[in-house]
């Protein structure tokens, strides 16, 4: 692995970490496109890499800050977490069967839909 690749990986981690802590995004929205565009990953590879990065408790310190201010409902977080784990397993099995071009389009459409909703329809 080249020094340039290591620097790019560190910058992707910094961008994802900062945005995750600030606005709750980082994995799919930040890392996946950067892995594709900056490092030449396939869509499948970028999604797998994004999920692999989240394996250790990477957001522990950020979550702790929200916990300290009383902004977390741990029971609700646990329900979503268990659901996320199970759905993530089945979603990844399904994604591996989808053509990469279609998968990129689905990913892009979801990001576009969310962006339009947040920009034009937020109160």
Q: What is the pTM of this model?
A: 0.78
- Whether the per-residue pLDDT at 54 is higher than 90: the answer is no
More confident call, 57 vs 40: 40
Average pLDDT rounded to a whole number, residues 105-115: 91
Average pLDDT rounded to a whole number, residues 79-101: 91
Integer Cα distance of 97 and 91 in angstroms: 10
- Whether the per-residue pLDDT at 56 is higher than 80: the answer is no
Question: Would you list the domain boundaries of the chain?
Answer: 3-120
pLDDT cut 90: percent of the chain above it: 62
Q: What pLDDT band is residue 4 in, cutting at 50, 70 and 90?
A: very high
């Amino acid at each position: 692995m080249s020094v340039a690749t290591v620097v790019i990986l560190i910058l992707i981690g910094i961008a994802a970490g900062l945005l995750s802590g600030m606005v709750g995004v980082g994995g799919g929205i930040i890392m996946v496109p950067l892995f594709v565009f900056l490092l030449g990953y396939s869509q499948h590879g970028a999604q797998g890499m994004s999920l692999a990065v989240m394996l250790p408790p990477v957001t522990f310190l950020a979550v702790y800050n929200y916990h300290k201010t009383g902004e977390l409902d741990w029971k609700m977080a646990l329900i979503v977490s268990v659901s996320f784990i199970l759905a993530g397993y089945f979603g990844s099995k399904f994604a591996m069967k989808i053509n990469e071009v279609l998968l990129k389009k689905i990913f892009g459409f979801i990001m576009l839909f969310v962006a339009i909703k947040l920009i034009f329809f937020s109160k």
